[in-house]
Amino acid sequence: MEANINMDESLIKNSSQEQFNEDVVVASKDVPVIVDFWAPWCGPCKQLGPALEKCVHEAGGKVRMVKINVDENQILAQQLRIQSIPTVYAFKDGQPVDGFMGSLPESQLKAFIDKLTEGVVMEGALNEKEVMAEAEAMLVEAPEEAANLFSQILAQNDDHPEALGGFVRALIKLEDFDQAEGILTTITEELANHQALVAAANSLKLAREATQLGGDLAGIKAKLDQDPHDHQARFDYATALLGAGQHEQAVEELLVIVRADRAWNEDGARKRLVELFESFGPQDPVTIKGRAKLGSIMFA
């Protein structure tokens, strides 16, 4: 999935001669600042600018970028002896420490930033494992907050499979099926084959099935009541319960099938339970209880 690069004022901003000291010199005492001197008529500037912005975003807050239009800030350009554009200066601890002129390929831009940010620990940096754990814990009761946390990780790495899968599952919890499907249909094949995204895709399939059947919960239950040994009717009832938000009862109905006939529909009830547990997430109480009950049946 391609990164969605926007002008994030916390990382990248336009500045001027009047704001240069505050935006660059003072700011560089906290985190390194790259200054891009450019002009609207400059062809190479149009290539360098977006590439440099992309690299700054990928650095995840370890470096900031300030853009100076030399046509609008000619005195500043003269003071800094800017002879041609694009010119890039790097400031650290209030002083210029590196720079280059002309456009560079992305690999060299990354190397330039890596050198500048070596040893830099950004303030408020995400602890990925902690954020992932918190997001997973929130997925059950607070999917909107969970989506927020997953998106914070994706802002630093938009190809993070576990965070992307979690974000999709949060969208499903919020019943935003179209956006969830939109993400799943635009990711790379490599990402799509990752277990986290396979589970998310299964969750979406289940959610759509459940929504379709959920509207006829009473009718499906009536059919099951006529013949409690009709495993297909019970399977459909479990799916309808899922659509009605009755997750624990859905699991219980599937467990009834597994107890009665493990081989029914080519192990269909057990497979559906596994899909549900992946969809609910490992920390969901329904998953924890359901897995324990399934295990006791399978190994009885």
User: Which residues form the catalytic set?
Assistant: 42, 45
Q: Which residues lie across from 100 on neighbouring strands?
A: 88
Distance CA 294, CA 116 (A): 54
Other C-beta atoms within 10 Å of 112: how many?
20
Residue 180 C-alpha from the chain's centroid: 12
Paired tokens of 143: 């999917």
Other C-beta atoms within 10 Å of 85: how many?
22
Distance CA 194, CA 190 (A): 7
Task: Give the relative orientation of helices 264-280 and 285-298 as an angle to the nearest 10 degrees.
Answer: 150
Residue 244 C-alpha from the chain's centroid: 27
State the DSSP code for 85.
Answer: S
Paired tokens of 59: 């650095």
Helices in the chain by DSSP H: which ranges?
Answer: 20, 43-58, 74-79, 106-117, 128-138, 143-156, 161-173, 177-186, 189-192, 195-214, 217-226, 231-243, 247-260, 264-280, 285-298
Other C-beta atoms within 10 Å of 74: how many?
12
Residue 101 backbone class (left: φ over 0; alpha: ψ -120 to 50; beta: rest): beta
Give the SS3 label for residue 40: coil
Q: Which residue has tokens 């995204």?
A: 197
